[in-house]
Structure 1
């Protein structure tokens, strides 16, 4: 009997030691962002939102230590593919998060999810991965790309009879243009897709002056979008042909655009004008830590950490139990800047979308909330075979 008791005590001791060792081992998480290139400001915003949550929780997620392996995809799909291979094959990460550009997502979605590594995107949400190519291993804490323009199309309907569209010629540009066209009830008189490397828009602005539409809808990555808005303003068009946009105008870029942005309307799932306790808490904490205003990518980055925190806690740190961890992610999370982060069948958020206007109040510039559209689902979820 004494021998049996000793064996049981020894076995229980080993089990306790193993559990303790597992709890202390850091969970490896790969982080990929386009820190250099035209989307660099977005990627930095995105990462800082993620890092803010970690700093608030002693570098832990779900109460467990994590090791963040940060990588720069440089806005280059081939670089991103190499990084994914390294993170999965060499570093053995069970989770990859970040992903800024849609061109990057299209390159890495398959290689990540086919290896049954969990992908938590806090940036890109292109249409192909929202529909028939959706994956049970991919979750999104920003928005599907079409959503930010669909609300602008709804806002513009009844206000303008005809609109001209300009967008960058890549996946996100095409998605965003399609979203606007889907919901705008007027006439699209012309569409123009420009190169991702094009900094000068004088030819396109001349075309706008000749066409004289009721309004113009544009989508460009931030660096290019800022160039376009300044050139549009310098041409004297801001006061005569309203500019509708999404993607580059937010609380982060408004201070650099100033007068060139006043009067522009933009669609997004979050900006500082969203008046909720969670939104205000994020805004105050981010400004205190980074001494600047956050943009929507910071909110999505923060929420990616909120989601991982909740899911890792639900599985007691055992992210290797893939079915349990997938179910834990699917439950969403409280504490999101949206209040409750909840997912559609394709693992994209069901959430409020907004239209904001850049305004001037005395010497200050701010984004004002113009219109809210609650409980928005993306337009591709019905094509996703997931339940």
Structure 2
């Protein structure tokens, strides 16, 4: 009897040890960013926002340890799809976060969500995945592409009667132009799309000089947007024809542009000019760590980790029930850089949007809020079949 009792106790102890070991196994999260290419600087800060949240919470989300598998999609859709396959089939991840460019999102959205893997995008928000192609497995912590230009269109109404438009020829460029045209009630005198890798805009600037619109609206990935703005300023146009933009001008790019960006107006969901306690805390943490200003995607990277922290905690680390985890994610989170992170039926945020202006004060270059637009919904949510 004693021998049998001892065997039972030993077996129980072994089972408890195995159970504890399994419980402590980190949750694997694939992280994809365009760390090389024209969006590289943006992707780095997007990733650092995620990391800062992790560091503030002891490397855990929802109270559970996580292992981040970082991958570089290089702004190349074919590379991104290979990474997704590896993360799902070899690494067995249940969550993939990150995604910077809309061209990357359009390539990986189906391969991720159709495999019933959760996608937490802290960057790209193209129109097709906000509408009919929305998925219960995809959530977004930045903004839908059109939103950053819709607010610029509203801001421009009554100020300018005619606007000339330039954008990079890819999904985000088309979305952003569509957003501006949706809300601007003046005249679009011309609409131009340039190659995604085009570094020189002398032909476009000559076209602007010949047409002489009341204002110009542009959208390019960060490196190209910086090139355009510099060349625009060098041509003496900044003070003659106001430049409106969306997305690329933020605290990170402004210091390199300096006088070229003074007077430029930009639509976005966040810069360090957003005044709430979490926003300020994040900006201070980044400045202390890197001693430089951040890109806007720092905030959406932070909110992606915040969302996962809240949702993983709600399901107590058990990701085996898809419906339960979906419901946990859809509840959003408090303590966001927005105040509260809340989602529409298509899992895009309902949140404040802003138009910021570049200015120089006492020799310092900074952005300030020109106009705010509370509780903005994207323009595609009613086409999404999710409830």
Q: What residue is the counterpart of 1:300 in the other structure?
A: 300
C-alpha distance in structure 2 between counterparts of 1:23 and 1:340, whole Å: 31
Paired residue secondary structure (1:302): helix
C-alpha distance in structure 2 between counterparts of 1:5 and 1:158, whole Å: 86
C-alpha distance in structure 1 between counterparts of 2:330 and 2:5, whole Å: 43
Q: What residue is the counterpart of 2:311 in the other structure?
A: 311
Structure 1 position 291, deviation (Å): 1.4
C-alpha distance in structure 2 between counterparts of 1:69 and 1:174, whole Å: 32
Q: Map 1:260-299 to 2 at 5 A.
A: 260-299=260-299
Q: What residue is the counterpart of 2:324 in the other structure?
A: 324
Q: What residue is the counterpart of 1:83 in the other structure?
A: 83
The total of aligned residue pairs comes to 387
Q: What residue is the counterpart of 1:344 in the other structure?
A: 344
Paired residue secondary structure (2:38): coil
Q: What residue is the counterpart of 1:196 in the other structure?
A: 196
* Native 8 Å contact 1:94 1:320 kept in 2: no
Q: Map 1:19-98 to 2 at 5 A.
A: 19-98=19-98
Runs in 1 of length 4+ with deviation above 4 angstroms? 2-19
Paired residue secondary structure (1:344): coil
Q: Could you list the per-position Cα deviations for residues 252-278 of structure 1 after superposition, in whole angstroms to 9, with x for gaps in the alignment?
A: 000000000000000001111111111
Q: What residue is the counterpart of 1:174 in the other structure?
A: 174
CA RMSD of superposed structures (Å): 1.8
* Native 8 Å contact 1:146 1:176 kept in 2: yes
Q: Relative to structure 1, is the Cα distance of residues 90 and 312 closer, same or farther in structure 2, using a 3 angstrom cutoff?
A: same
Structure 1 position 247, deviation (Å): 1.9
Q: Relative to structure 1, is the Cα distance of residues 8 and 321 closer, same or farther in structure 2, using a 3 angstrom cutoff?
A: farther
* Native 8 Å contact 1:252 1:295 kept in 2: yes
**Structure 2: runs of 5+ lacking an equivalent:** none
Q: What residue is the counterpart of 1:155 in the other structure?
A: 155
Q: What residue is the counterpart of 1:377 in the other structure?
A: 377
C-alpha distance in structure 2 between counterparts of 1:158 and 1:9, whole Å: 80
Structure 1 position 5, deviation (Å): 10
What TM-score, normalized by structure 2, do the two folds share? 0.97
Q: Relative to structure 1, is the Cα distance of residues 180 and 11 closer, same or farther in structure 2, using a 3 angstrom cutoff?
A: farther
Relative to structure 2, which stretch is displaced further, 4-13 or 210-219? Answer: 4-13
**Structure 1: runs of 5+ lacking an equivalent:** none
C-alpha distance in structure 2 between counterparts of 1:72 and 1:10, whole Å: 47
Q: Relative to structure 1, is the Cα distance of residues 167 and 12 closer, same or farther in structure 2, using a 3 angstrom cutoff?
A: same
* Native 8 Å contact 1:163 1:215 kept in 2: yes
C-alpha distance in structure 1 between counterparts of 2:222 and 2:89, whole Å: 33
Q: Map 1:111-190 to 2 at 5 A.
A: 111-190=111-190
Paired residue secondary structure (1:278): helix
